[in-house]
Structure 1
Amino acid sequence: MDADELHALALSRPADALRIARDVLAGTPSDAEAAAAHHAAGLVHRDFGDIREAVAELRAAYRSIRRTADRDREAEILATLGVALVMGGQTRRGLAVLDAVVPGQTGVLAGRLFIRRGWVLGAVFARFPEALADFERAVDALSGTGDLVWEARAFGMRAMALLAMGMIDPADDDYARSEELFAKAGQEVEYADARQARGAVALARGDLPAALQFLDDAQRIVEDLGVLEPDLYANKCLVLLAAGLTREALLEVNSALERSEQQGGSRARHAELLMCAGLAAHAAGAFELAERRDRDAMRLFERQQRPWWAAKAELALLETRFANGGRTAPLLRGGQRISAVLDELDRDLAAEAHLLTGRIALARKDSAEAVRHLSIAARARRGGLRTRGAGWLAQALLHQDGGRSRGMLGACRQGLSLIEIYVRTLGATELRALATAQGAELAAMALRYAVERGSGRQVLEWSERWRATVLAIPPVRPQADDGLVADLAALRDLTQRMVSSRDRGPGTSQQQRERQRLESAVRQRVLLTPGQFDERRERLRITELLEKLGDRTLVELVDLEDQLYAVIAAHGQVRLRPIGPTAVATHALSHALFALRRENARRGRHELKLDTIGARLESALLGDTLQHLGDGAVVVVPTGRLHAVPWSLLPSLRTRPTSVVPSAAAWVRAMRAEPPAVDRVVLVGGPHLSAGREEVRRLAELYPDAVVLADGSATADAVLEAIDGASLVHVAAHGTFRADSPLFSAIELDDGPLTVYDFERLKRAPHRMVLSSCSSALGGPSGADELVGLVSALVALGSAGVVASVVPVSDPATVPLMLRLHEQLRAGDGLAEALARTHDSADATSQSFIALGA
């Protein structure tokens, strides 16, 4: 095997190359053979992160090649040594080696050397125009030479510089060409690098699902090869953070950081991983850990003489200190200094630095300094996608500080519209919900202004502007994916076996690991669902809301800076009333839910006074708004943290039809919903319910034409087919709420759990649905004020109304309640009216169900 073949093997199958190199060196090689073997071993050690060993091997290669007449090979080895020195933190020395070896070279060799020096200039020193010039020379020198690997590298390196300079489409074209050439040459590791680089392009374009897909593809390849690629994990961390998947970002980057430390890897790449780990810790609220990592990364970058990276790490450090309550004069001076540094190095990052500095100045009441920096940051609102959000926030803060409320509200609208466009690029419900957090500050700023003015109408408008945003966008069904269907089926089968098995031996832990693997696979497939770009969100029109309310009263709760307010809309008027501390309401709710759980389980020796508990909850939630409720039905819009209120426990609402909705706009949409043309009722009975069979049997007598799935026929496929587009569905089954992963909340069927991921595959949700299941109304708070769970999925898919419970309920007590409920439904009542008529104040079970929607 000649030197070029061994060099290529070191980058495609490193373990094989290292074995061959050792075999060569164990014999009696010539100087040229020894140089090639040491060179290949140095490449493998470098890419595995063993920089000391790499430098030693490359110096040995240089000593061997010096004893030959092959000056071209000598230049190649010296250039590789220069790159290794840079990766080991000796950046100036490594660049000096490259600067010495490049001049005077021509042809293919010159192209290879330009690539190496350009990489150091761009990836390490962030001198992108100089790097681009080297890469242009490399592309010219290598194109059409038949050297596929180096031609692919030239295109990939040029793409790196183009992307860094904001030229996204040309960068993607170059990366695609590089990927194609690496695949043709069989270079697996570098093919994976090109794949993950395309993920960075997709992120820059704002296409998170595509970015995740590219990165997942690349990760599978490098993990199969046993190679640590720090760039991949750093990029994946940034993509996951952009998606709001903080926990996943922490796990990925911490794992990569640990492996880098164990392997003694590239100090240059180790510093970049440290900075990403700091960003992930900051996002998770672990500010002390974030500060340590930011500081360590900054010091490494400074020692490595990498000013752009050092400035980026320092900005992250200052942002962490500000988020952790720092408002000191030294912090302001730090912001001023780093803003000036980044003005010279990176305009996009400079906008973020000026925004931070302006906010620190605002917090310190230094209006003149705040205006100076916020004005600079606000210019970015007309820049690229990366900076526009920061620009609109800066503009809003600037107008707010100057008392220009109209300008502030306009900036908030523009910033929220920008984020909403981004949310639409995401297909997965989870990603959409998490992305709304980016608009929370803008929405709160406008809402605070409306509350201070005491305008109920304005508070309602701004509350609705960023409430239940995900539900206002038509859902994107997961792509037709046999793999997703198969993984969901395997997960049901495994869960069923785990439930039925009483074995607590070694097999149990193995089953748990397999369940985690399957859940991860399902979640990952759905996260890759692309969004739809041409949808328009319909805004709430308050005049239409007041018209549709008729004799009803709408109460929308608003949580602003831990204070609860109520907006009351009724009889053509909108009022605003302060309630009190949010903490009082959440504490009263926790007490009420505990009481219902205990009474339903019949575990307490003494009967709790539910009337007293309900009255306390009513006071904490509604305050003196009761005088504005009138006598008619009530529509309640709770906050995310208060979504699980048992409203019939409140004395004033006990016998009053009460509908619960995630937003006023969602209620209006539900009121417009047309029932299916064909009246089709579906009754589903799950296993292991003490009274489930009786419940379904009795209901079947009320609905003789109903589709009945029970006693073994209630399988996932059969249930999904039957309920798709049905007019009314009743499910009597055990329900589980997964606080750790709400989209795996499920109802138990004969062949295992039917999760939210399964429901999202429906073409059309049932028009109305009764979930006679434990805790089926619960959702997981996410993003700004979103809920992720079974009921929210049904509402998003188009269900007009759902009856569900907020706590575990008693099976036997549920049967008579459900029979009474359906008798009222058959008499023509809506869900809220039917539930109110079946209420029994002495029965905890009836107080555990709520009616959601219209």
Structure 2
Amino acid sequence: MVFAAPNQALARAEEVLGSDPSPLHASVAHQVIGIWQRDWGDLRIALDHLRRARDLAARSESADREADVLAALGVALVHAGRTRQGLAALERGVEVAGGHTRARVLFRRAYASWVLGQHKAALEDVRRAIPVLRQAEDVIWTARALTLRATVHLALGAVERADADFTAAEALWDTTGQEHDKADAVESRGLAAYRSGDVPAALRLLDEAQERYAKLGTPTFMLTVRRCEVLMAAGLAREALAEADAAIKVLDGIGGQSTLKAELLLAAARAARVEGDAHTAIARADLAVRLFAGQRRSWWETHARLVLIEARVAAGRGSGRLVADAAAVAERLASFGAPAAPEASLLAGRIALVLGWREDAQRHLEVAARSRHSGPPLARMTGWAARALWARAVGSDRRVLEACRRGLDVLDDHRTTLGASELRARATAQGAELAALAARASLASGGPRRLLVWSERWRATALSAPPTRPPADPGLLSDLTAFREIAARAEAARTEGRPVPALEREQRRLEREIRSRTHHIRGDAPGDGYRFDPAELLERLGDDVRLVELAVLDGRVQVLLCGRGRVRRFEGGLLADAEREAEHVQAGLRRLAHPGAEARLPVVEAAGRRLEELLLGPAAAQLGSGPVVVVPPGRLHRVPWALLPSLRERVFSVSPSASSWLRAHGTAPPDGGRQVLVRGPGLATGGAEVPELAGRHGSATVLEYDEARVPRVLEELDGAALAHIAAHGTFRADSPLFSSLRMADGPLIVHDFERLDRSPYRIILSCCDTARFASVGADELLGLVTALLPLGTAGVVACSAPVNDEAVVPLMLALHKGLGAGASMAEALRDARAALPGDAVHQATGWAFSAFGAA
């Protein structure tokens, strides 16, 4: 019962102890309390109850009773880090038990061996137990044994064997009422889905297990360990670190299992390393190593040592000693049959290369490269990374490019399984090293055109196809509606000066639920195999248009100027300098949005000139007289491009990638030319341009006041030819897909836009911060504009800085005048800027807006 209804079992056991039970019954009751405390409470209390259960079992003169308690005690001792005593108790249980009970004890010893990382011993015991349990028709324990065997197979990388055992166990669990065991089975299937490469299914199953555990009221520390592993594979290392650290704090508070604490520390160390926090990774991994060593868990200790070495290297501590340490770790992991062995060999080879130890580097990298043809995607990428590093060491650019291409193809296949745009964007971080290696090799061996190809290979790839449209999930729709209502109530409370902590907590809970549900969506189609063709780009550009793609190599901006049938390369300044200058410009624009800051105008203009030198360099003089398309890297998304002198009076647009511009250029407008004007609440000017635009566009649909509610707005936006939205914009750097436009019933968020069948062909967002993005992954952007481009929008006008609301009105009216005369978005915006008054406020407002796409 303790694994069917844990809390009820605990209460029943306490009732038994209060009724003057016999030694036999008292032994059972103390064992139940001990198991409950062992798995979900204080381990010290667990050991006390289990020892009492053992002593009472001896008095009951039942060998099987004594053996059963010894097995439970042995597992608890192992979890407490008293490995030698735990194994001795388990050995004694095997000796005194017989038949059916002995099979159950063997199962527990197999479980202890799995905890210790002794996988061969675990498999041997569980294989001996299963036939006896089956013969006794013991459904529950047979299902447990099959689940454990599957889990051990997963640890050794035998996914197909694990699947077979999980399937057999699931069929047995369906015939029982063991609710906690069933939740554990769902959790294990989530781990299996992850190991087979299906991250969305893994997240869905682990969340389902979490819900089941919550209903039973039991903690979920092992689930946290597994969730952290999957979150890191999904590019969510920061979330993994937060979850692991929170679980450690709870575990310490209840005096829980030291074995679980060590595993949580290892998960936290891995997450911190991936997140780039080397010092936190070192601290967590060092403590994990010491705990695992004290627990005699060599398999786990070796994995923790690998993370510790990786973190030390990331902190700049490369040395010959670390080469030897990494090589020793790789050898031990290989002897365990651990899938992480190639990762350790790659690390040893990488350090050896830095030190110039070519023979050692070659040996270790060749071992790591063997993993490139089999195993899960990240293991194969490890193999191709090793291949690319050695090819670079021997000076073979051709082999570098081939290895990088093959490795990124593996990651492409992995990304297409992800339906959520956030996960697809974040997953690209795992290919950043390969992309950088390829960019260097392409410049050395193929010149500017090849560098352009590789710059496009791993730039804004999340925008290459629309995200998988969320299914008609009633739960998701309900959560979105509830989120809007709570957010609107919180906003109203802030306006009235009322406290909002409870509303903010509920809003954060709903955000987590919405985000979680979208992460469960699986990619609905494989990649289309599209490869960027520079010849196609040059043909579309023709003789008049120039495309400027900014690549970054070793921290310096490389300017690739495309047009008139060729690609030329110029060198700009340091990316870090450009980022700092862009922040200064943003600060200046914020001040110029308010009257009285006119004296700052020359300062901002001077910063624009410095930005041009850093970003365009000599290419600024080679732009010709025609339109320009700017393709910046993700980290330069906040640059107000209209402030650059060479672009200030020119027709120009911005695109996340050349491929994205090509797709936008080829997007046909919808039939009918339907126009939608939306006016949200609370604007300083009341969205003053909307009534006048409604008069100009007599057939336009106008949504304002109570009609400007999210469901109605989405309905009208879907497939429109032109949409103009005047509403407060909010950018969420912490969670960019919750960036929003304020409607009458609450925020219209990016997740809402992703439910459209086709977003408007052209859309104008006449509010602050709508062109702000979060730079994630290798070179990806998440925000309002980037949500629209893959969904069918060919052109967007949006703002990258706070602006003066009153100054926006004449800009928008002039913009629409140009569009009405047949101009493109970029042409109309250029002319609208020129039509503004010459004061600082209007100038800054014009600079803050950019045209994105190609319409």
**TM value normalised by structure 1:** 0.96
Deviates more, 1:771-780 or 1:489-498: 489-498
Q: CA deviation at 1:837?
A: 1.6
Partner of 1:378: 369
2:282 partner letter? E
Partner of 1:713: 707
Q: Secondary structure at the match of 1:653?
A: coil
**Native 8 Å contact 1:447 1:462 kept in 2:** yes
Is 2:847 aligned against 1:847?
yes
* Pairing partner for 1:21 from 3, 13, 33: 13
**Native 8 Å contact 1:654 1:839 kept in 2:** no
Partner of 1:30: 22
Q: Distance in 1 between matches of 2:250 and 2:224?
A: 11
**Native 8 Å contact 1:716 1:749 kept in 2:** yes
Partner of 2:243: 252
Partner of 2:579: 586
What per-residue deviation string (whole Å, max 9, x for no partner) do you get for residues 41-68 of structure 1? Answer: 2211211242232222222222212223
Partner of 1:674: 668
Q: CA deviation at 1:113?
A: 2.0
**Aligned ranges for residues 468-507 of structure 1 at < 5 Å?**
468-502=460-494, 507=499
What per-residue deviation string (whole Å, max 9, x for no partner) do you get for residues 693-723 of structure 1? Answer: 4311111122111111113211111110001
Q: Distance in 1 between matches of 2:732 and 2:101?
A: 59
Q: How many residues align?
A: 845
Q: CA deviation at 1:534?
A: 2.4
Q: Distance in 2 between matches of 1:528 and 1:291?
A: 32
**Aligned ranges for residues 541-556 of structure 1 at < 5 Å?**
541-550=533-542, 551-556=544-549
**Aligned ranges for residues 703-782 of structure 1 at < 5 Å?**
703-782=697-776
Change (3 A) 1:125 1:617: closer
Q: Secondary structure at the match of 2:630?
A: strand
Partner of 2:182: 191
Deviates more, 1:607-616 or 1:696-705: 607-616
Q: Secondary structure at the match of 1:689?
A: coil
Change (3 A) 1:104 1:611: closer
Partner of 1:701: 695
1:590 partner letter? E
Q: CA deviation at 1:105?
A: 5.4
Q: Distance in 1 between matches of 2:60 and 2:688?
A: 91
**Native 8 Å contact 1:588 1:620 kept in 2:** no
Is 2:522 aligned against 1:517?
no
**Native 8 Å contact 1:454 1:576 kept in 2:** no
Give me the identity figure in percent. Answer: 45
Is 2:455 aligned against 1:459?
no
Deviates more, 1:597-606 or 1:665-674: 597-606
Q: Distance in 2 between matches of 1:564 and 1:34?
A: 75
Is 2:526 aligned against 1:567?
no
Q: Distance in 2 between matches of 1:234 and 1:557?
A: 40
Is 2:265 aligned against 1:280?
no
Q: CA deviation at 1:282?
A: 2.0
Partner of 1:387: 379
Q: Distance in 2 between matches of 1:321 and 1:797?
A: 43
Q: Distance in 2 between matches of 1:105 and 1:34?
A: 20
**Native 8 Å contact 1:47 1:229 kept in 2:** no
Deviates more, 1:158-167 or 1:515-524: 158-167
**Native 8 Å contact 1:290 1:320 kept in 2:** yes
What per-residue deviation string (whole Å, max 9, x for no partner) do you get for residues 491-530 of structure 1? Answer: 2222222222357777411111111111111111111111
Q: Distance in 2 between matches of 1:78 and 1:166?
A: 32
* Pairing partner for 1:628 from 600, 622, 626: 622
**Aligned ranges for residues 168-317 of structure 1 at < 5 Å?**
168-182=159-173, 184-317=175-308
Partner of 1:838: 832
Q: Distance in 2 between matches of 1:68 and 1:732?
A: 80
Q: CA RMSD in A?
A: 1.9
**Native 8 Å contact 2:592 2:598 kept in 1:** no
* Pairing partner for 1:353 from 344, 355, 367: 344
Deviates more, 1:81-90 or 1:658-667: 81-90
**Aligned ranges for residues 796-807 of structure 1 at < 5 Å?**
796-807=790-801
Q: Secondary structure at the match of 2:408?
A: helix
1:570 partner letter? G
Change (3 A) 1:779 1:93: same
**Native 8 Å contact 1:389 1:415 kept in 2:** yes
Is 2:594 aligned against 1:601?
yes
Deviates more, 1:362-371 or 1:74-83: 74-83
Change (3 A) 1:479 1:268: same
Q: Distance in 2 between matches of 1:514 and 1:24?
A: 41
**TM value normalised by structure 2:** 0.96
Is 2:109 aligned against 1:114?
no
Residue segments in structure 1 that go unaligned for 5+ positions in a row: 1-8
Where has structure 1 moved over 6 Å in runs of 4 or more?
A: 503-506
What per-residue deviation string (whole Å, max 9, x for no partner) do you get for residues 393-439 of structure 1? Answer: 00000111111111111000000110111111111111111100000
Q: CA deviation at 1:533?
A: 4.2
Partner of 2:527: 535
Change (3 A) 1:300 1:457: same
**Native 8 Å contact 2:285 2:308 kept in 1:** yes
Partner of 1:6: none
Q: Distance in 2 between matches of 1:584 and 1:40?
A: 64
Q: Distance in 1 between matches of 2:361 and 2:73?
A: 48
Q: CA deviation at 1:183?
A: 5.1
* Pairing partner for 1:73 from 65, 81, 92: 65
Q: Secondary structure at the match of 2:157?
A: coil
Is 2:132 aligned against 1:141?
yes
Q: CA deviation at 1:165?
A: 2.9
Q: Distance in 1 between matches of 2:710 and 2:362?
A: 59
Residue segments in structure 2 that go unaligned for 5+ positions in a row: none
